[in-house]
């Protein structure tokens, strides 16, 4: 019986993933969306508390979001900070605090909600990809898979969610360190 935690800020993608997983057998647990403010991801204690008492899970989905503000230039340090923390640090904290709850044979998926396409964001998406590749090594020792979904292959949130649901499912049991999607976001 699967038990999958979905961690991340409120977004259309988060809801689509929960909806998609809920139509399958097993339990879906939403992890404290309110604790995950992408503009303040350094609030690690709140994130740790959100996972407290969750118990064993078979899957973990970390949804991240680039909280682009309009006040910053595309190459500014403020832009870099918000994109990198919103996408990469949230994912790291999800892995740190949710990862230990995933049981052997389970799976983790990192995914970034559709967002802007500028160098800071592209870099943060690259870090998310690299984090899934890098972390797949440590988690493999515990029999846990780690993969990434880039949402650029479709604009349909339900279809993006299907890719996430596939990677946490048993059908992807020999897939780890991989990614679906190319990573470049369409500017919208």
Among 92, 144, 167, 168, contact with another protein (rule: CB under 8 A):
92
Q: Which range of residues in 20-28, 49-57, 82-90, 154-162 is near another protein by CB under 8 A?
A: 82-90
Q: How many residues bind another protein (CB under 8 A)?
A: 44
Provide φ and ψ at 118, rounded to 5°.
-135, 175
Q: Shortest approach of another protein to residue 46 CB, angstroms? A: 13
Q: Which range of residues in 4-12, 16-24, 59-67, 74-82 is near another protein by CB under 8 A?
A: 74-82
Q: Shortest approach of another protein to residue 173 CB, angstroms? A: 17
Token pair belonging to 12: 């259309």
In angstroms, the first-to-last Cα distance of the chain is 39
Among 140, 154, 158, 159, contact with another protein (rule: CB under 8 A):
140
Q: Shortest approach of another protein to residue 176 CB, angstroms? A: 8
Question: Which residues does 8 contact at the CB level (< 8 Å), separation at least 6?
Answer: 14, 33, 36, 61, 62, 63, 64, 65, 90, 94, 113
């Amino acid at each position: 019986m699967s038990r999958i935690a979905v961690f991340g800020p409120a977004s259309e993608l988060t809801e689509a993933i929960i909806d998609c997983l809920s139509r399958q057998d097993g339990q879906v647990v939403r992890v404290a969306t309110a604790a995950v403010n992408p503009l303040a991801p350094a609030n690690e204690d709140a994130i740790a508390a959100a996972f407290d008492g969750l118990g064993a899970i078979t899957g973990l989905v970390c949804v991240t979001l680039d909280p682009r503000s309009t006040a910053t230039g595309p190459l500014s340090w403020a832009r870099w900070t918000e994109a990198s923390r919103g996408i990469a640090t949230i994912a790291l904290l999800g892995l740190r605090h949710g990862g230990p709850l995933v049981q052997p044979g389970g799976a983790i998926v990192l995914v970034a909600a559709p967002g802007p396409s500028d160098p800071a964001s592209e870099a943060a998406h690259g870090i998310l990809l690299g984090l899934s590749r890098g972390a797949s090594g440590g988690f493999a020792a515990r029999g846990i898979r780690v993969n990434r979904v880039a949402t650029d292959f479709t604009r349909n949130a339900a279809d993006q969610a299907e890719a996430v649901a596939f990677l946490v499912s048993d059908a992807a049991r020999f897939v780890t360190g991989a990614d679906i999607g190319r990573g470049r976001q369409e500017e919208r």
